[in-house]
Amino acid sequence: MRHDIVFPGFGGTCLRGWLYLPERPAPVPGVVMAHGFSAVKEMDLDCFADVFCGAGLAVLVYDHRNFGASDGVPRQEINPWAQARDYRYALGWLGQRPEVDAARLGIWGSSFSGGEVLVVGACDDRVKAVVANVPMAGLPGVEYGDTAARFAAVRAMLLDESGRGLADGEGVVMGPVCVVPEEGVELPAFLPQPESVAYFLQRGRQRAATWQNRVTLRNAFGTEPAYDPGVCVGHLGKPLLMVVATEDRLADTAVALAAFERAQEPKRLELIVGHHFLPYAGDAFVQASAAARDFLLEHL
């Protein structure tokens, strides 16, 4: 059963979404889910949540601050530090529900948020399993041989509740940009690939009236410490499933596979043959959602 919910993120910002509760005796394991770059929950997260809930998991799906149904300003601004921090607030809220076993919480993220769950999972001991769906799992050309000091800095920044860290400061701003090229939009496009255009302007816009083809980015690039999930993946120390597309031109396939190799056991790799957006629909969705469902059931 799905319920409309609202819970407070950092600073009391209202984050809105859905709570799926299975028809099983409580308490049950729980999973927190949020979408990737600019996307909102109606863009196929309900499909994944239905699969997980049908298997007996409680699922919290929400829109990131500044997007969709959630509050927050500036509207349409992506700050990965703030989004990752709100994942922690979502975990806390879900774990306090009487229907949910707070000792069995997992997180799921896709694309840009697939990187965020790698960061949160490595930094938050409440997370018992991580599913990273076609994740931005690192940065091309970065050396990941010794990441201990960099990880400590990332963890300290994520856990910063002072209101003066990279999740909150003025910092480095990029944009505004459009998400994908569109006729009549006079902005540079962040995702120029044909598969990106097809997903956002066709399937995404059809399913989600709140999606907008415009974003700014704050503290996503050029910060110290750098926002880099690739620094965190080797420090997870808990079960990890990575769903990787073999021809991913957004979340680079080679970078994702290299990140998976650095991850500790237990870990599982699920390969989707094709491009970045295939796991959201059709046979590839069936494959990706089933792999995530089975993994979560095994480890939560």
CATH number of the domain that 292 lies in? 3.40.50.1820
Dump pLDDT digits (tens) for 205-219. 889 999 999 999 999
CA separation (Å) from 297 to 67, 88, 105, 114, 245?
Answer: 30, 21, 11, 19, 23
* CA 131/CA 160 separation, integer angstroms: 24
Which amino acid makes up residue 133? N
Number of continuous H segments (helices) and E segments (strands) in the chain = 9, 11
H or E element: which one contains 241?
strand 240-245
Dump pLDDT digits (tens) for 35-44. 999 999 999 9
Find residue 77's DSSP bridge partners. 216
User: DSSP 3-state assignment of 199?
Assistant: helix
CA separation (Å) from 17 to 2, 111, 122, 232?
Answer: 10, 19, 25, 27
Classify residue 194: in a domain, yes or no: no
* CA 265/CA 143 separation, integer angstroms: 21
* CA 155/CA 276 separation, integer angstroms: 28
The reported pLDDT for the residue numbered 281 is 96
pLDDT class for 59, splitting at 50, 70, 90?
A: very high
Which residue is associated with the tokens 């902005």?
Answer: 187
Closest CA to 248 of 288, 195, 202, 285: 195
- Judged against a pLDDT cut of 90, whether residue 197 lies above it is answered with yes
- Judged against a pLDDT cut of 90, whether residue 186 lies above it is answered with no
Closest CA to 13 of 67, 57, 61, 55: 67
Which residue is associated with the tokens 């409440």?
Answer: 126
- Judged against a pLDDT cut of 90, whether residue 204 lies above it is answered with no
Q: What percent of the chain has pLDDT over 70?
A: 100
* CA 253/CA 244 separation, integer angstroms: 7
The reported pLDDT for the residue numbered 193 is 97
Which residue is associated with the tokens 């990187």?
Answer: 115
141 near 251, Cβ under 8 Å? no
The verdict on whether omega for the bond into residue 266 sits within 30 degrees of 0, i.e. cis, is yes
Report H helices in the chain. Answer: 45-54, 80-95, 112-123, 148-158, 194-198, 205-207, 229-232, 253-262, 282-299
Classify residue 221: in a domain, yes or no: no
Classify residue 76: in a domain, yes or no: yes
Classify residue 198: in a domain, yes or no: no
Range of the domain at 266: 2-167+229-299
Looking at the structure of the chain, the number of domains it has is 1
Closest CA to 250 of 194, 210, 289, 288: 194
63 phi, psi to nearest 5 deg: -90, 140
Tell me the pLDDT of the chain averaged across its residues: 96
Dump pLDDT digits (tens) for 119-177. 999 999 999 999 999 999 999 999 999 999 999 999 999 999 999 999 997 888 999 99
- Judged against a pLDDT cut of 90, whether residue 203 lies above it is answered with no
Classify residue 185: in a domain, yes or no: no
The residue-averaged pLDDT of 70-83 equals 98
